[in-house]
Amino acid sequence: MKVGVIGSGTMGSGIAQVASTANCKVIVYDVKQEALNKSKTALEKVMNRLVEKGKFGTNRAEEIQNNISYSDQLQSFESCDLVIEAIVENPEVKRNVFTELEGIVSENCIIASNTSSLSIASLAASLKKPERFIGIHFFNPAPLMKLVEVVPAIQTEESVLNKTKETIESWGKVVVQAKDTPGFIVNKVARPFYGEALRILEEGIADVATIDWTMKEIGGFRMGPFELMDFIGNDVNYTVTETVFKAFYYDARYKPAFTQKRLSEAGYLGRKSGRGYYNYAEGASNPKPKQDEALAKMVFNRVLVMLINEAADTLHMNIASAKDIDLAMTNGVNYPKGLLAWANEIGIEKCVTELDSLFNEYHEERYRCSPLLRKMARNGEVFSL
């Protein structure tokens, strides 16, 4: 198979590495020759490190690199079977590229976008043959992250969907299918991990260090929500939250927090700026967590039931299957358990009781219980995974 990748940034280069490792011939396109040179050099360094670690031999490393060619001419994609776009999240820029690309590739070439937030249907509409278009959302870094969300537009032909899933699975990825809705699976379901933690902080129930310690110590998460927001970048995380909030017609469940907005405005972006919820300067002291068992249990349960509620509602709205939702969260953001499996474990009825308690306390729409959870609790059902 011949694969084209539009964009030689971190994501585009990562996708190219994944495809070339799966023995595809890959062409990486970028308008800037300097960016292409940087991508090629970065791959060489990655391959050298993998050889040093004994992941594979020098010949295999050279083979992977030789599978990739670099071009500043879109015309190079003429014989590609699949082209994946991984450029700036600007719909107009993407549409212009797709319109030009369609005049170059064959009629059978699948055209895809790696977008994490834009409407696949809207991007597909820029083509004369929108049925060949699909979303293929890799997670960063693409060579290491197992999950790929495949998102068909309403225009996408079933044969294109099946071929895409088959191809990405052959690249060694865990493929989940999502409906074309804001945030797809992972970026939608994960919102309460940040949002509810921020709400707990803003109410003064627990501080940053305590909430992070709680989610790691009791929940088994690899990183606490504030550590993770600092790692992602508070500007990036806030923008994703705001985008999902607007895209869901200002649904209160996705409401952004002023705390994160102010940190972004102040330039406290997290690790990349040296300061966020924590201070990353050398020798800086950060607050210690309050290891109060009762407080920790309350904080953990509150965040967890909000995550479970979001996962359940994602299933309720037919955005993805129960199996794919749990696969997405364990493989896309490394959750210790699938949220629906977790709901089965702690009890659906308990989840409903906790959510109703929060709603009765606040009378805010963000705490409304998913109809699916309520129905399952009433019928004594569990999620089938």
In whole angstroms, what is the distance from residue 192 CA to residue 219 CA? 14
Helix ranges, the chain (H): 10-21, 33-52, 58-66, 91-102, 120-124, 158-170, 186-189, 191-202, 208-217, 225-232, 234-247, 258-266, 293-316, 322-332, 339-346, 348-362, 371-379
Instruction: Identify the burial level of 203 via C-beta atoms within 10 angstroms of its C-beta, where 0-12 means exposed, 13-18 middle and 19 or more buried.
Output: exposed
Residue 239 phi/psi, 5° resolution?
-60, -40
Active-site option among 8, 67, 114, 116 = 116
Tokens describing residue 342? 């977790």
Could you confirm whether 187 is annotated as catalytic? yes
DSSP state of 134: E
Is residue 140 flagged as an active site residue? no
Q: Which pair of structure tokens corresponds to residue 232?
A: 């992602």
- Tell me which of 67, 102, 126, 149 is the catalytic residue: 149
Residue of 39, 137, 196, 331 with catalytic role: 137
Are 177 and 165 in contact, with CB atoms under 8 Å apart?
Answer: yes
List the structure tokens of 372.
């699916």
If you search the block for the tokens 């009629």, which residue do you land on?
Answer: 107
3-state SS, residue 142: coil
* Three-class secondary structure of residue 45 per DSSP: helix
Catalytic residue selected from 187, 234, 237, 344: 187
User: Do 72 and 33 meet the contact criterion of CB atoms below 8 Å apart?
Assistant: yes
**CA dist 93 to 31, 96, 165, 235, Å?**
13, 5, 26, 22
Tell me how far apart the alpha carbons of residues 158 and 151 are, in angstroms, rounded to a whole number: 12
149 is catalytic: yes
Token readout for 310 is 């979001």
User: Which residues are identified as catalytic?
Assistant: 116, 137, 149, 187
